[in-house]
Amino acid sequence: MARLIIVTGPTGVGKTTYSLSLSKDIGAVRFSIDPWMQNLFSKDMTSLDYAWMIERVYRCYVQIWQVGEQILKLNGNVVLDLGFTTKEQRGHFAALAKELDIESEVHYLSAPKDVRKKRVEKRNVEKDPSVYSFEVTDFMFNFMEPKYEIPDEQELANGRVINA
- List, for residues 40-53, the tens digit of each pLDDT value: 777 777 666 778 77
Q: How far apart are CA 86 and CA 147, in angstroms?
A: 8
Paired residues of 78 in beta bridges: 4, 29
Four-residue CA torsion sign, 97, 89, 68, 129: negative
Task: State residue 47's pLDDT score.
Answer: 66
Confidence of residue 161 (pLDDT cuts 50, 70, 90): very high
Taken in order of first residue, the domains within the chain and their CATH numbers are 4-163 (3.40.50.300)
Confidence of residue 39 (pLDDT cuts 50, 70, 90): confident
- Kindly tell me if the per-residue pLDDT of 135 is higher than 80: no
The share of the chain scoring above pLDDT 70, in percent, equals: 95
- Kindly tell me if the per-residue pLDDT of 129 is higher than 80: no
Confidence of residue 164 (pLDDT cuts 50, 70, 90): confident
Q: What is the mean pLDDT of the chain?
A: 90
Average of pLDDT values for 74-93?
A: 95
pTM over 0.85: yes
C-alpha 110: how far from its chain's center? 13
